[in-house]
Structure 1
Amino acid sequence: MHSAVFLIEFGAVVLALGLLGRFAARVRFSPIPLYLLAGLVFGHGGIVPLGGSEQFIEIGAEIGVVLLLLMLGLEYTAGDLVGHLRTHAPAGLVDFVLNALPGAAAALLLGWGPVAAVVLAGVTWVSSSGVIAKVLGDLGRIGNRETPAILSVLVLEDLAMAVYLPILTTLLAGAGWAAGGLTLAIALGAVGVVLVAAVRYGRHISRFISSDDPEKLLLVVLGLTLLVSGFAQELQVSAAVGAFLVGIALSGEVAENTHHLLMPLRDLFAAVFFVFFGLSTDPATIPPVLLPALVLALLTALTKIGTGYWAAKRAGIGERGRWRAGGALVARGEFSIVIAGLAVAAGVEPALGPLATAYVLLLVVFGPVAARFTEPAAMWLTGRRAQRRGAPSLPVAGAEPEPVPVPD
């Protein structure tokens, strides 16, 4: 009977996710807020609370985090990461100061303490690579001159997570200074070793794992990722970091084939992860934190726009491209939920989960809107100011006549 209940419940959840995903694709919108809302519906205090399948969904959510980070690592080579770090480090620093500090300050003002401040700093800091990539594609901006500046900020955020997550995991575990320092040293050492090994021996590693049989390649990569993630979790380094490092270590044809094979699995378990985060949030706890979430969302939307504008200006992009870059970076999503999920599991602050849910829902919805309308709105305001001063105004248009193709 229990297995029948499990199959019915889990089947209903997966079917609902599939229908929501199809609806989101039809309206050209990110499915993340719909998955979060589905979790609120199926969770405790929701309309149709689950019982028999919740434990399996929790395990699936952990696998979803691992696959999200593995696929993220597969997007980059170690050489790409090192090159971005050397070239675009100032943009990463500006991004951290403008977007992490408001989250930390908000947690302290709410009286949640330093650990919650570190958590909320991460939630407000990191943009959603998945949502932004989709928006850029939908708006036809993949080849725009400002797009490399946008991607450089996203890459630096992803690389920073390899350092941030071990720090966060150590703080959540409540380890002392000695144990925490040792854990952080292990994490940083692992990141350094993997980057060096991937730069020097990436071809040999990929050749060893490579297989012409998709089934064997999938089993080896997935098994290796789960194994490394498990050991990383045991060392309090974070399973997500372990998966990210495995992805970085793979390159070339192996990375491309693995990406193709794992994408459906990633999408399935990532959707389960978002649902589980919603399951762990009681809908009744969201209204009390809605106003702080709204204020924080508005503030960090502006700081992200400022980040993109500065990064694009530093790259020599024109005025319109700077505003487009800023608007594109507003969306938050998967990483913010991963960070908040770690804190919720550790029981840091009861209101942190609802606040993060409301915050991500607001910005994952507003992000595509900001990407589309930040530049026209900024040009309109510039034109109004110019008219008041009696100077000729710039024509307001939806796109800037800059060269579109970007050389590889």
Structure 2
Amino acid sequence: MHSSATFLIEFGAIILGLGLLGRFAGRFQFSPIPLYLLAGLAFGEGGLLPLGTSEEFVAIGAEIGVILLLLMLGLEYTATDLVSNLKTQYPAGLVDAALNALPGAAMALLLGWGPVAAVVLAGVTWISSSGVIAKVLGDLGRLGNRETPVILSILVLEDLSMAVYLPIITALLAGAGLAAGSATLAIALGVAGLVLVVAVRYGRHLSRFVSSDDPEKLLLVVLGLTLLVAGVAQQLQVSAAVGAFLVGIALSGEVAEGAHGLLSPLRDLFAAVFFVFFGLHTDPASIPPVLLPALALALVTAGTKIATGYWAAKRAGISAKGRWRAGGTLVARGEFSIVIAGLAVTSGIEPRLGPLATAYVLILVIVGPLTARFTEPVATRLTGRSRRSTTTVTETPQDRDLVPSPDAPAEK
């Protein structure tokens, strides 16, 4: 009885605190994610007041939060949108991997950690946080923006790449032979492909099966199906997030609209719990020794992510403002990076890799919502000043009257 009462007090305090932090962030019109993370850091391992009985429940809630974030993203788009975006955006996925994985690998090699650690840290710096970005897009009201499908295409390509990367890194860390590693990879690819085919070809049948006029039944069936598919996918070495996203893709029409309205409050609740959980498992004492390398890596890869999003959006014909928004939104790292680092820590290949990855992700998961909001206005202001300065130096008023610049209307 005492344990149950303690759990209710702890968890109730967490939810109340999240609500107050959310209201504070809303008053100043910025994303509450950094506040959620800092709250978790304050009350986690080595923090001011570590939690006790509610930690296990928070861990489960955090996993559900990521699943619901990706499900809700999937509900925004149809299977046709997914296939079309993947066909047109795969070059952006290749650029994304090259620009963002290489800095992590290079840092590990410079620190003398060896090739296996280099492959691990490459994954940490490569993959953006689908959970954080999904929350940011919702908070900023950008789900309907023209650049959002480009952002989602890159995220989906990254998540699908994890179906290949995670079995490889698991085999490397375990020292498994070629045959065992190949079998694991083949299973992961087969499962991911099967779920994708079902989502694309049989989505209408699935929507009819799930459809119900009763909100309670619709909520239970959609939520149960999502958790089931996510669990099976994870059991077979495929990302649970990919499974949840594809369930959302498969649902369409009135079912998708109804599920979106019913699940939005649950998504917000469990997503907030996810960000707190991330902070809870970060020991503040482990950060200072690796802070400088983490800051350097965060600075470089924030720039490479912005460049990735800008290039991908430009390739899709998005305006300059949309390109900067796409780049700034992709900066955050999160759940996948921590999963990858956790595998390395468990295997014991390099004791400093875990704290470095944690500090790196913590920096970018706090900075990410800020770059998503401010990259576009800052870039627009700087480029506007640069253009005005160039015009003042190289042209006279008479020259501009005689030979009007074709860019003049756009600058106005």
TM-score, normalised to structure 1, is 0.84
Counterpart of 2:383 (choices 378, 382, 391) is 378
- In 1, the alpha carbon distance for the partners of 2:57 and 2:168 equals 26
8 Å CA contact 1:39–1:277 kept in 2: the answer is yes
The one-letter amino acid paired with 2:373 is P
Query: Would the alpha carbon gap of residues 136 and 325 (structure 1) be closer, same or farther in structure 2, given more than 3 Å must change?
Result: farther
Is 1:341 the equivalent of 2:338?
Answer: yes
| 1:120 counterpart residue number | 124
- In 1, the alpha carbon distance for the partners of 2:24 and 2:123 equals 32
Counterpart of 2:324 (choices 319, 326, 337) is 326
| 1:42 counterpart residue number | 43
The SS at the match of 2:50 is coil
Counterpart of 1:152 (choices 150, 153, 156) is 150
The one-letter amino acid paired with 2:212 is S
8 Å CA contact 1:123–1:356 kept in 2: the answer is no
Structure 1 residue 186, shift from structure 2 partner: 2.6
| 1:366 counterpart residue number | 371
Q: Which structure 2 residues correspond to residues 147-296 of structure 1 after superposition, within 5 A?
A: 147-165=145-163, 167-168=165-166, 171-172=169-170, 174=173, 176=176, 177-296=178-297
- In 1, the alpha carbon distance for the partners of 2:253 and 2:24 equals 34
The one-letter amino acid paired with 2:337 is A
Structure 1 residue 46, shift from structure 2 partner: 0.9
| 1:102 counterpart residue number | 103
Aligned residues: 390
8 Å CA contact 1:104–1:120 kept in 2: the answer is no
- In 2, the alpha carbon distance for the partners of 1:389 and 1:125 equals 44
The one-letter amino acid paired with 1:116 is V
- In 2, the alpha carbon distance for the partners of 1:265 and 1:357 equals 25
8 Å CA contact 1:9–1:50 kept in 2: the answer is yes
The one-letter amino acid paired with 1:39 is G
Structure 1 residue 332, shift from structure 2 partner: 4.8
Structure 1 residue 327, shift from structure 2 partner: 4.3
Cα deviations by residue, 1:326-361 (Å, 9 ceiling, x for unpaired): 244224577x21112313543533212222112321
| 1:73 counterpart residue number | 74
Query: Would the alpha carbon gap of residues 378 and 363 (structure 1) be closer, same or farther in structure 2, given more than 3 Å must change?
Result: same
Structure 1 residue 316, shift from structure 2 partner: 4.3
The one-letter amino acid paired with 1:168 is L
| 1:130 counterpart residue number | 135
The one-letter amino acid paired with 1:48 is L
8 Å CA contact 2:203–2:252 kept in 1: the answer is yes
8 Å CA contact 1:332–1:363 kept in 2: the answer is yes
- CA RMSD of the aligned region, Å? 3.1
Is 1:306 the equivalent of 2:307?
Answer: yes
- In 2, the alpha carbon distance for the partners of 1:50 and 1:283 equals 15
Query: Would the alpha carbon gap of residues 29 and 211 (structure 1) be closer, same or farther in structure 2, given more than 3 Å must change?
Result: same
The SS at the match of 1:187 is helix
Is 1:92 the equivalent of 2:93?
Answer: yes
Give ranges in structure 2 of 5+ residues lacking alignment.
346-352
Cα deviations by residue, 1:96-155 (Å, 9 ceiling, x for unpaired): 322333333334434451342243233458782432454464xxxx88xxx534532432
8 Å CA contact 2:93–2:154 kept in 1: the answer is yes
Structure 1 residue 324, shift from structure 2 partner: 4.5
Structure 1 residue 51, shift from structure 2 partner: 1.1
- In 2, the alpha carbon distance for the partners of 1:204 and 1:298 equals 47
- In 2, the alpha carbon distance for the partners of 1:15 and 1:108 equals 45
Aligned-residue identity in percent = 56
8 Å CA contact 2:74–2:247 kept in 1: the answer is yes
The one-letter amino acid paired with 2:198 is A
Structure 1 residue 41, shift from structure 2 partner: 0.8
Structure 1 residue 315, shift from structure 2 partner: 3.9
Cα deviations by residue, 1:200-239 (Å, 9 ceiling, x for unpaired): 3211111011111111111112222222222222222232
Give ranges in structure 1 of 5+ residues lacking alignment.
403-408
Query: Higher mean Cα deviation, 76-85 or 168-177?
Result: 168-177
- In 2, the alpha carbon distance for the partners of 1:327 and 1:249 equals 28
Structure number with greater Rg is 2
| 1:53 counterpart residue number | 54
The SS at the match of 2:195 is helix
